[in-house]
Amino acid sequence: MDEVGGYIDAELNERLLGILSTKENVNLETLGFGDESKKYRAIITPIDIAGERLGTLFEYRCETEYDIDDIILTEYGTTVVGLEMMRSVNEESAEEAEGTAEEGTKTEYPLTITTYDYDGNEIETTYEKAPEKVIAVYQGSIETMLSLGLEDRLVATAGLDNEVPDDLKEAFSKTNYLDEFTPSLETVTMLEPDMILSWSSLFSDKNLGNVTDWIDKGCNTYYNTNTRPDGDRTLENEFTDILNLGKIFDVQDKAQAIVDDAKAVIDKTLTATADVEEKPSVMVLEPLGEDITNYGAKSLGGDMVTQLGATLANPDASTAGKEDIIAANPDVIFVVYMPYAGDDPETVKESQLAVIKDDEALQSLDAVKNGRVYPIMLSEMYASATRTQDGIETFAKGLYPDVNLD
Same fold flag, 12-105 and 275-399: no
The identity of residue 137, as a single letter, is: V
Which H helix or E strand runs over 75?
helix 68-105
CATH code of the region 275-399: 3.40.50.1980
Q: Give the Cα separation of 190 and 399 in Å (integer).
A: 48
Q: Which residues make Cβ contacts (< 8 Å) with residue 301, sequence separation at least 6?
A: 284, 295, 334, 336, 376, 381, 382, 391, 395
Where do the domains of the chain lie? 12-105, 111-250, 275-399
Q: What's the predicted TM-score (pTM) here? A: 0.75
Q: Is the pLDDT of residue 212 over 70?
A: yes
CB count within 10 Å of CB 297 equals 15
Give, in words, the CATH class of 111-250.
alpha beta
Q: Within its chain, how far is the Cα of 118 from the centroid?
A: 29
Q: What percent of the chain has pLDDT over 70?
A: 93
Q: What is the mean pLDDT of the chain?
A: 90
CATH code of the region 12-105: 3.30.450.40
Q: Is the pLDDT of residue 100 over 60?
A: no
CA neighbor of 242 nearest in space, from 73, 91, 383: 383
Q: Give the Cα separation of 332 and 395 in Å (integer).
A: 10
pLDDT digits (tens, 9 = 90+) for 317-348: 999 999 999 999 999 999 999 999 889 999 99
Q: Which residues make Cβ contacts (< 8 Å) with residue 186, sequence separation at least 6?
A: none
| Dihedral sign, Cα of residue 89, residue 91, residue 96, residue 97 | positive
Q: Which pLDDT value is given to residue 223?
A: 97
139 neighbors 161 (Cβ within 8 angstroms)? yes
The identity of residue 63, as a single letter, is: E
Q: Which pLDDT value is given to residue 1?
A: 41
